[in-house]
Structure 1
Amino acid sequence: MKLLLRSAKIIDPNSPHHHKKMDLFIKDGRIEKIGTSLKISEVDKEIKLKDLHVSSGWFDSSVSFGEPGFEERETISNGLKAAAKSGFTHIALNPNTNPVVDDNGAITSILSKAKNNAVKVAPIGSLTKGSEGVDLAELYDMHQGGAIAFGDHKKSIAHPNLLKLALQYAQNFDGLVLSFPQDNKIAGKGLVNEEVSSTFLGLKGIPALAEELQIIRDLYILEYTGGKLHIPTISTEKSVRLIKEAKKKGLNVSCSVAIHNLLFTDDLLKEFDTNTKVLPPLRTKKDIKALIKGLKEGTIDMVTSDHSPIDIEHKKVEFEYALFGSIGLESAFGALLQLFTLDETIGFLTGSRKRFGLKMPVIKEGKRANLSMFSPEGTYTFTTENIHSSSKNSVFLDSKLCGKVYGIISGKNLIVSE
């Protein structure tokens, strides 16, 4: 297939065409020519879109679907279509399925189901068998099968020796260990951030201390063992400080923040909308300020949509019984543009690949086409009509977002959002 993109502004600091408005000719999945006013004969499709911008393809480090076991939430096929229409060419897929992705066969099955899709899948294997937090799973076998990291999604490692063993063992193949930051003995049966709002609403709270104590413990263990640790979705001011201090010590640690934790506070809970029930919980303005600063200064390594589809039967119930989670792929770009410059936003959406051992695409002649297409202009109200996922549980519903995602070009695949 021969594609010609007209007057696309390139946002890619690794490209010689960064911040230039160019035509791009793509033939059989490769960028053949980049120039101005290109004259190309026999083009299968010419793409002209209002205020078209392109960047190297976006990557999300924490995406959940449902298949196998929870197909009513999301299938791999439809989930990848939703990711593509949201501008993502690559996702890290969490292991929280039924059965849990905890061996080589499960990794192979996921990759097989995702094969030939425009969006590439990088599976995360469960750290422990069945994600039960008792015995280490077959980490090396999963690594051989294509797993990029290992963690029990949204489940903390209660036993400190288990984390110690995991960090030591994973060093044999340069594996990345994920540890969800929550001490369950302190979090208890908490539902929301422990603050004035939780008291006012009569909801059980999850104190910031539950996150921070777990991070302190994990960092001490990392200092002892060495290895590579990633702490997904931090949410408090002190968590940022702790990780900043650990990096100054030279510890090999990274962390992420969920996009909704950058925009919304626990004040949103007043309506008892179960879409606002997320983990970690929405915190305070002070926490948000620290998280944004942490991102800008590089203490926080990446953002994630933390995409977590939940079927209506488990969301449209009393707040106490609703499952944690919000979808986020469709709103990621528009939400980030509310807070950051375009260059910063694209940097956050593309820059986390390296931590997971994935190659960074670049917009250059001769390179495989791996492009996200978008416009940063305009604003809109996010509604269910903007959602491509099977589940509609979004904390961003009725929020004002910025820009527009047009779709992706990934190799020979062109996906354009309606």
Structure 2
Amino acid sequence: MNILLKSARILDTQNQSLHGKVRDIWIKNGRIEKIASSVSPEARTKVIERPNLHVSKGWIDSSVSFGEPGYEERETLAHGARVAALSGFTDVVLNPNTHPIPDTSGDIVFINKTAAGKGARVHPMGALTRASAGTDLSEMYDMKKAGAVAFYDFKSPVGQSNLLKIALQYAQGFDALVLSFPMDSSIAATGTVNEGNTSTQLGLKGIPALAEEIQIARDLYILEYTGGKLHIPTISSSGAVALIGEAKKKGLDVTCSVAIHNLYYTDEVLVDFDTNFKVMPPLRTSKDREALRKGLKNGVIDMVTSDHMPIDIEEKRVEFDRAAYGSLGLESSFGILNSIFGPDKTVDLLTAGHKRFGLPAPAIKEGEPVSLSLFNPEGDHLITKESLESTSKNSMYAGRKVKGLVYGSVTGQQVFLKK
């Protein structure tokens, strides 16, 4: 299929010769054939024109959950990949939190085959330990050969320090990335929200930032001893930013991400006990939120994630303490970030992360494979449950007005555009 993006403004801060320029982009057989002020389309060319059309390199999300296998009622792999593509994402890193938990090469092969060609490219992570039980290492080497991009016990802390030490040492033999969830379970205990004024007022059990910071400090000490590559997903506190900043100054190979909702909300939104705001790690204070935003601006925090997690209504429409953790996020990512940072910084944040997960970085250049996100950064857009493409509807952003609108994405010869 031939595709022509007509009069598209290119946002690419790393390519100043094109950044901010309006160009036609002609795509032929999955590659960028020509970028010019005007291109006359050949026969059988799909011409894409949209109001104030902007394009950037394809976006990536480093922490996405769907459901299949085991929880197809939440979201199937095929439909989830399509939702991601319509939300502007060309690549998503899939969390290992299905049933069964992917801890063998066969599990990774199943995910890759099932999701292939359905939308955004889905890159599965494998469990770090068998069944994510935190006892024995999984078949990491075999899963890496089968296509796993990293290893992670999703939202489950590595409680045994020696196990993390062994994992980091073992992973170096095949250049694997290890993830460690930043939470000390003994301190977090049965808490559900940030420990502070709000938790006290609402009578909810709290999780202090200390639980996150102690775990990160331990992990960084182990990393300094072992070497290897460590990624700390979804940090939420100002202390975490400071710890990781110091580790980077030492030259440790550590990266981290922050969930977009921790950049936007604070725990004060919990006043109505809306379970869509129940996430892990929890929403924290305005001081933490500002530290996280600053950490992104100065480069201590490497990437953002929607931490997208579809959940059945039956698991959300219950008492707050009993409700499942998680919120949708893919479809609102651009609008929320654009409302906070503006389009240039938003695109920079959404295009970070490919290299860390061993994925080829897209480029807007003639001859390169096509991986493009399409959007309009201007205007207000109201997020409603009715507008959500996801199967589940547990979005903490429903009813929020954000800046900008995503049109979709183009990956290879596949075009995914919202109506």
Normalising by the smaller structure, the TM-score range is over 0.9
SS in 1 for 2:374: strand
Deviations 1:89-128 (A, max 9, x none): 1000011000001010000000010122231111111000
What does residue 142 of structure 1 align with? 143
CA RMSD of aligned residues (A): 0.9
Once residues 42 and 212 of structure 2 are traced to their aligned partners in structure 1, the CA distance between those partners, rounded to angstroms, is: 59
The answer to whether the 8 Å contact 2:78/2:119 transfers is: no
Aligned residues: 418
Deviations 1:159-217 (A, max 9, x none): 10110000000000111100000001000000100000000000000110000000011
What does residue 41 of structure 1 align with? 42
SS in 2 for 1:216: helix
SS in 1 for 2:125: strand
- How far residue 385 of structure 1 moved from its aligned partner, in angstroms, is 2.3
- How far residue 367 of structure 1 moved from its aligned partner, in angstroms, is 1.1
What does residue 351 of structure 2 align with? 350
Deviations 1:137-164 (A, max 9, x none): 0110000011110010000001101100
How do 1:6-405 residues align onto structure 2 when only pairs under 5 Å count?
Answer: 6-15=6-15, 16-405=17-406
The answer to whether the 8 Å contact 1:182/1:214 transfers is: yes
The answer to whether the 8 Å contact 1:14/1:362 transfers is: no
Deviations 1:318-337 (A, max 9, x none): 11110010110000000001
- How far residue 40 of structure 1 moved from its aligned partner, in angstroms, is 2.5
Once residues 42 and 253 of structure 2 are traced to their aligned partners in structure 1, the CA distance between those partners, rounded to angstroms, is: 51
The answer to whether the 8 Å contact 1:10/1:22 transfers is: yes
Q: Which runs of 4+ in 1 moved over 4 A?
A: none
SS in 2 for 1:24: strand
- How far residue 357 of structure 1 moved from its aligned partner, in angstroms, is 1.1
> Which letter does structure 2 place at the counterpart of 1:206?
I
SS in 1 for 2:55: strand
Once residues 321 and 173 of structure 1 are traced to their aligned partners in structure 2, the CA distance between those partners, rounded to angstroms, is: 41
The TM-score normalised by the length of structure 2 is: 0.98
Structure 1: which 5+ residue stretches go unaligned?
A: none
> Which letter does structure 2 place at the counterpart of 1:200?
Q
> Which letter does structure 2 place at the counterpart of 1:65?
F
The TM-score normalised by the length of structure 1 is: 0.99
The answer to whether the 8 Å contact 1:118/1:411 transfers is: no
> Which letter does structure 2 place at the counterpart of 1:83?
A
The answer to whether the 8 Å contact 1:4/1:43 transfers is: no
> Which letter does structure 2 place at the counterpart of 1:410?
T
Once residues 205 and 156 of structure 1 are traced to their aligned partners in structure 2, the CA distance between those partners, rounded to angstroms, is: 17
- How far residue 14 of structure 1 moved from its aligned partner, in angstroms, is 4.1
Once residues 116 and 18 of structure 2 are traced to their aligned partners in structure 1, the CA distance between those partners, rounded to angstroms, is: 31
Once residues 373 and 71 of structure 2 are traced to their aligned partners in structure 1, the CA distance between those partners, rounded to angstroms, is: 29
What does residue 3 of structure 1 align with? 3
- How far residue 43 of structure 1 moved from its aligned partner, in angstroms, is 4.1
Once residues 374 and 366 of structure 2 are traced to their aligned partners in structure 1, the CA distance between those partners, rounded to angstroms, is: 18
The answer to whether the 8 Å contact 1:330/1:386 transfers is: no
> Which letter does structure 2 place at the counterpart of 1:333?
F
